[in-house]
Amino acid sequence: MLLKVILDTAQQYRFNEIVNILVGFKNALLVTRQVVEKEFFGIGSHETLSYWRALVRQLLVAGLIKKEIETYGVIKLTAKGKRFLHRHTHFS
């Protein structure tokens, strides 16, 4: 779900913005870019902010996603993350 949201948002958001999208927390940036109207907005609201933050960190460590320093920390899928997403496996 997390990797799919990163992909569905064209890999253009930072750590906190991705978490906000998952839990359905609106802010000016997400409203302006009309992300709040997308079907995936709030898709992870059944989990806490802490849960999603921890999962993002785990995926960073596992090499499935990376922070692009050149774009001020935008989260992107790595090649490993794209393969993982296409295999429909679960991360533990």
Q: What is the dihedral of CA 82, 85, 89, 92, to 10 degrees?
A: 80
Listed by start position, the domains of the chain span: 2-87
Q: What pTM value is reported for the model?
A: 0.90
Q: What percent of the chain shows pLDDT beyond 70?
A: 95
Per-residue pLDDT, averaged over 47-65, amounts to 97
Nearest-angstrom CA–CA distance, 82 and 88: 10
pLDDT of residue 42: 98
2-87, what's its fold?
Arc Repressor Mutant, subunit A (1.10.10)
Could you tell me if 26 and 36 are in contact, meaning their C-beta atoms sit under 8 angstroms apart?
yes
Nearest-angstrom CA–CA distance, 7 and 85: 10
pLDDT of residue 92: 56
